[in-house]
Structures are given as C-alpha cells and as structure tokens.
Structure 1
Amino acid sequence: MAQFQRSFFRTTSMVTRLNTRCYSKTDYANEKNIKKSVFISQSKDVYTNLALQQWLFKNFDFTNHHVLMLWQNDPSVVIGMEQNPWLETNYSELNNLGVQLARRSSNGEAFYEDNGTLNLSFFSSKERYNSRYNMEIISRGIFREFGCKTDLNSADDLLLRNNKQFSGKSAKIGQSNSYHYCSIMVRVNKINENLLLQPHGVDIQSVKNRDIKKMNLCEENPQVSVDSAMQAIGWEFLRSKALSLKDGGLNQANQQRGFHLINPTEGWFPGITEIRDNYASWQWCYGKTPVFDITQTFTVPGDLIDQKTGSSAQLKVTMTVEKGKISDITLFVPYGFTALGFTGEAKVIHNLKGKKFSIEAFNDLEDSLGVLLDDRDKFVTECLKQVMTCA
C-alpha cells in the first residue's frame, strides 16, 4: 500500500504540472456542485453509439453534470470527420470480413474496433473541457485496479511499456458542450486491425506514416477484460473531484449519480433514429470525403501498340473523386496507342463521370456497355476497373 501511495503521489504531482486548464477560485468553490454519471450503452451497433454520443452532445446540459459514456462496438472501422476511407482503410477487406465503416462527426484518426475495444467519451461544458484530466482518470483507474503503469506522451496518447500505444482519441467542442473521446485496446484482434487499417495498393496522395507500435492492455495484465476496465475507469471517474483530480474516495463516489445502463432507442432519446440513419448513410460515410486523386500506370499490350513507335508503352490513369463520386478521369496516352486511332476518350470514361466510386457501380456500367467496346476500349475499361478495385 505504501508503494502504491508513493506512485500515486508522483502521478498526481505530474498531473498538476501537465494540467493545461486553469480554473478560477469561483470554479473550484463550485466544484462540489458538479455531479457525475457513468452511462453504459447497451448497444454494440457502431452507428447507434455514434448517434447516442451526438444526441447527448446536442441535447444534454453538462453545466453541473459531467458524464462518462462507455460502450463497445461490433467489428468496425471508424474514421475521422475529414478523413478519406480509401486512404485510411483496406476497403475490399472490410467487405470481405463484413466489417462496418463509419465516420465520426469529430476529428481524429481512424480506429479499428471490436468487442475487445473500450470506447469512452467524457462530456462536460465547453469551459470545462480538459483532455489531460480525462486521460489521467483512465491512467489512474487502470493502475489502481490492474497495476499497469502508463505514460502520456506529448500528443496525449496512453503508452505502456516500451512506449507502445494502446489508445486513440478525438474531440468535439461546440458552443456550449464538449466531449473528449478515447478508445482503449483491451483485447482487440490485432490481425484484423493491421489488415483493415492499411490502404489499397494504389498511389493515393498524402499517405501517412503507419508505423506506430501498439499493444493490448491484456498483454500487460492478462486479467484485464473490457467489463473490468469499464468498472475500474468508471469508479475512478466517480471518486475523483470534477476539476482538481483530487481523489475523494468512496465518500466522493457515493455523492455522485452512479452507473446507468442506457438503452439508446427512440423511446429514451427522441430523434436518435434519424441521427443513426444519417450516420449509416452512404452520403455521410463516403460523400463527406474530401476531394482526392488516384493514379495508376499500366503496360499496354503489344497488339494494341503501333510497333513502329517501340515494343512497349504505358498508359497512366488519374481518377479524381469528389464527394465520393468520380468527377474526372485523365488518361496520359502513349503515342503508339493514338497512332492506331485511340483518341483518349474511351466510351466508358464519359459514362463513369458522376458515378459513385465503387466497384459495384463500375460492374453495372460495364455490363450495360457490353459489345459496344472495341479492344482499345476494353483495355482502358480493365485499367479503370483495377483503379476502382480499392472501392
């Protein structure tokens, strides 16, 4: 116990140094008036839980009531508001494994989640948003219950031994409310995570570094489960003062509003169905994607090249995608291809513009064109299909 107290004191001292939120004497005087609740969602549907998070953000009054929302999702990849699903994921494998793709309404990186992931959102008023406080609640709860020592890096990521990361984060700050979201790898299927968070092999602009070393919390302590982590962090949240991170123990926890099992349905949260349907829509998941280009180069078969120009040539295809739909296709055509009468405007190109960037839409178009395609058109069509196989 003495060793724990010394370690805990060091952690608390570090929090004091790192805490970037400054409160007035009046704020601290009113700290006792702020009550806390832990909401545990009974749904594992990723779109429903995103809708619940948004419903609380839009409709709840957090002025004197801070809420920690906890939940699990069935296998899914959740991307940030401004992210590109074709850049962040191996989309063809998402379909093969039946994993849902969802887009948050907050910023942050892409996460793979399954029933081995613990999701947390700390809700407060805008003025009391404090990400460092929230991460220290998680860190203290894990240490108190499981003895796992964690560190925070400069980006507010939680690290285990050898600086391996086991958390992800995002945030949303509105006019009056805010939330700080965090996902914790407890027993995540890392094979699926590594497979699904790799983009397709085409040349997409701005591919980022994916060399972050990660590990599950259960690799540090095999006794950890998502349920036990929920309980540990939930109790840490309830027993801690609302602003100062002082440990008030059982007496502080008993003064709070406790744990609540939440059923995110229309009867409990009027309007949540409409929010959920929006999060599940193609327009939200894909139509919100920023403009991007995909480029691939293909070797033209010899029988389609004027042999006087040489034995080989390459066709370069650049496809521009805007709001999830194809807005332009540019072909860089080798001279030997044009010498045989190809003009660069294959029949399939005109028909693809305005279509969803998906292989399903392409296959439907290819079937409708059928015998209208000559050999050169068929070659270009196959090149475009390969570009779109990432969709």
Structure 2
Amino acid sequence: MKLYIIESKNTNVYYNLAIEEYLINNTNNNIFIFFWKSKNSLVIGKHQNPWKEINFNFELVKNGEIKIARRISGGGTVFHDLGNLNYSFVSPKNYLNSQEIFEIIIKTLKNMDIDVEKNYKNDLIYKDYKFSGSAFSIKKDKFLHHGTLLINSNLELINETLGKNEKIKTKATESKPSKVINLKEINYCINEEMIKNNIIRETSKYLKLSGIKIATKYFRDESLMEKHKSWEWIYGNTPKFIFKFEDNEFNVENGYITYINSKKLKNPMKFDLMNFENLNYQKV
C-alpha cells in the first residue's frame, strides 16, 4: 500500500469534483490525499435542493459568477473561494476511517496552536465558531472523507449566498447554518502550505508510509467533468419538492414541474427559480 499526494492547480470546481469522483471510482488499494481549491462556488450535498439552500437573488449567483455544483457526498451546502482549502482522503474503507482522519486533522491544527474541537455535526470549531465542515461517501470498497478549511475566506459572501427558501417544501437534506471564522483570525501566521505539509506529515506518521506526490493529469476524466457541469446532475438530481407561488402549488420532480395545483402536465417544464415570474404557467 502507498500514500499518494495530489495537489490541484486548477481552480475549476467541476474539474476538482470530477477528479475526486475518479479517485473513489477507479483507483486501486492505495490511500490518496487530494488538496484543491475552487474559485467562488457553492457546493450542495448529494441529497440537497439547490433552490432551497442558495440565495438565487444574490447578484453574483444570478449572473453566474458564483458557480453551483453538487458533490457525491451527503451533508450541507458549503461556499468555496480561494481562501478556502479542501482536503479529500480516499482509502480502502476497511483501512482508514473518519475518526482516524479527524484525529489527523485535529492534531495538525493543534500543532499550529489552534484550539480545535469537533462538534456533533462533525464540524471543526474554535470557541463555537466553525472553520471546517466534513462529508463522507462510500462506494463499494472505497471510502471518501473530505472537508473544507477556511483559511482566509470571504465570510461576508458565505452569509450572503446561503439562505432558506420558505416557499419550498421538501424532505431533502437541509443545511444547518453556523457562525464561521477564518483560521487566519485565530493564528495570523497560518498559511495553506503549512497546513498541507502538516497534514501530509501527520498522515505519514500515523500510517507509517511516505507520501508520494503525483500529478492530477493521471486522474482526469472528461466524461466525469461533463457530468459535474451538467444541469441533470446539479438540478435534475434534486429530491422531489413542492413550490408555492401566488396561491399556486407546483410539484417538481427531477428538476421538472410535473403538476400544477394537482393537474398533471403533458409536457413537464424545467423549474427555473430565477425566471419563475416570467413563466406563463396559467396557460399550461
């Protein structure tokens, strides 16, 4: 067994999510640590409703400057920017578990004088302020544990872009908002390279394996990248829900309006929250 270290220089959220999925789908019985960052983007959990979780009235969301993506793990919605570092561990599921990975990350942070605790939501916190969220996925014999680390992120954008749409009724997983803090506010000397090097060192020590750096080009898959960019994956995988608008009730399934006020549509329409007021649904 070997420990491979992958560092992505690409800041496209779809590119990085595709590499992550490739790792859990295709790699052999080795352990991978994948470090990556994305330009402004909102990443929803596999079982979430983007229209429920995201503030589509916010200008940078509306004009597409903030990308929307869906990951393969559960959990809540997270905001990514270049001040946030993502780490992903992919391992044979019987060799490394989440508790062990949390211990590695917590030890890493304590080495840098961060008084860190893990709460019941699997968030890493400092004095009730969250700076890291985690999520998990198991596929056959592989296990994925990934997390965010807010180093110097735009906290104002986090608050502006995440929101609850009360017009939507759904059984989809809902995010649980938290107060957030950057690691730079706790220890100004902290930087991305320091964190990555410490994670690698603590993992190597725990596993008694030396880290081997390997390029992302070996894990690129164009079809997976197209999947992660697609409307079908981001919106079409939304659990069914009900949207209420102007005394009307819209049933939405797989991203399409299928019923209006209990009347089935012959031709289901794509649900588009940003342009909903322009929808001529009364003639359907």
After TM superposition, the score normalised by the length of structure 1 is 0.66
Alignment partner of 2:115: what SS? coil
Unpaired segments ≥5 residues, structure 2: none
Matches of 1:142 and 1:87 in 2, distance apart?
Answer: 33
Q: Which position in structure 1 is the counterpart of 2:23?
A: 56
- Give 3-state SS (helix, strand or coil) of 2:16's partner: helix
- Counterpart of 2:219 in 1: which secondary structure? coil
Q: Larger radius of gyration, structure 1 or 2?
A: 1
Matches within 5 A, 1:245-264: 256-260=210-214, 262-264=215-217
Task: Encode CA deviations 1:21-56: one digit per residue, 9 max, x unaligned.
Answer: xxxxxxxxxxxxx43222111211111111101111
Matching residue within 228, 244, 254 for 1:295? 244
Counterpart of 1:269 (choices 214, 219, 228) is: 219
SS in 1 for 2:152: coil
Q: Which runs of 4+ in 1 moved over 6 A?
A: none
8 Å Cα contact 2:55/2:160 also seen in 1 = yes
Alignment of 1:124-139 (within 5 A): 124-139=91-106
- Counterparts of 2:239 and 2:211, CA distance in 1: 42
- The match for 1:247 is none
Alignment match, 1:241? 206
Shift of 1:286: 0.3
Which of 97, 101, 105 is equivalent to 2:72? 105
Given candidates 310, 322, 326, the residue that maps to 2:257 is 326
Aligned match of 1:215 in 181, 193, 196? 181
Q: Which residue of 2 aligns with 1:151?
A: 117
Q: Separation in 2 of the partners of 1:214 and 1:325?
A: 34
Tell me the SS of whatever aligns to 1:47: helix
Tell me which of 30, 53, 57 is aligned to 1:92.
Answer: 57
Q: In proportion to residue count, which structure has more helix?
A: 1
Using structure 2 for the length normalisation, give the TM-score. 0.88
Secondary structure of the residue that 1:166 maps to in structure 2? strand
Residue in 2 that maps onto 1:46: 13
Task: Tell me the CA shift for residue 225 of structure 1.
Answer: 2.4
Name the structure with the higher strand share. 2
Structure 1 residues 210 and 54, CA, compared in 2 at 3 Å: closer, same or farther?
A: closer
Partners of 2:63 and 2:194 in 1: CA distance: 32
Q: Which residue of 2 aligns with 1:224?
A: 190
- Count of matched residue positions in the alignment of Structure 1 and Structure 2: 281
Compared CA separation, residues 45 and 108, structure 1 to 2 (3 A):
same
Q: Which residue does 1:72 correspond to in 2? A: 37
The gaps in structure 1 that reach 5 residues or longer are 1-33, 243-251, 298-315, 332-344, 367-376, 385-391
**1:190 match:** 155
Q: Name the counterpart of 2:146.
A: 181
